Amino acid sequence: MDGDDDFGAELAASLDPDSWAWLPGVDYAAGWRVARQTADELNSLLVACGVDRGQLRAIADTDAQGGALVRLEGVLDGGMSLKELLCLAADVRGEAM
């Protein structure tokens, strides 16, 4: 392994069936479609702000009950770009950090 003593605990936490098991009768597709529309809109805004899609992107997903989720996934540079954009937005709103 990698020498991390907490590796097993982290692995066990990631195996939570509520986070990945599909339940019979739940309409996951409907939640995913809603999330997909929002993710597409967010991705368009990120690109319009100069954030490369290879650095940061929104991904449509659903929770265990079929609710829409949008996850952000990216590399460090993408996260830094998002931080810069959020700081600019906070400045405009007068809520600087």
**Residue 12 has which token pair?**
């066990």
Cβ–Cβ < 8 Å for 66, 27: yes
Question: Residue 38 carries which side chain, given as an amino acid letter?
Answer: T
Per-residue pLDDT tens over the stretch 34-88: 999 999 999 999 999 999 999 999 999 998 889 999 999 999 999 999 999 999 9
Q: Please, is 28 exposed, middle or buried when counting C-beta atoms within 10 Å of its C-beta (0-12, 13-18, 19+)?
A: middle
For residue 15, what pLDDT band results from cuts at 50, 70 and 90? low
- Phi first, then psi: give them for residue 61, nearest 5 degrees: -155, 175
- pLDDT band for position 12 (50/70/90)? low
In this prediction the pTM is: 0.71
pLDDT at 18 over 90: no
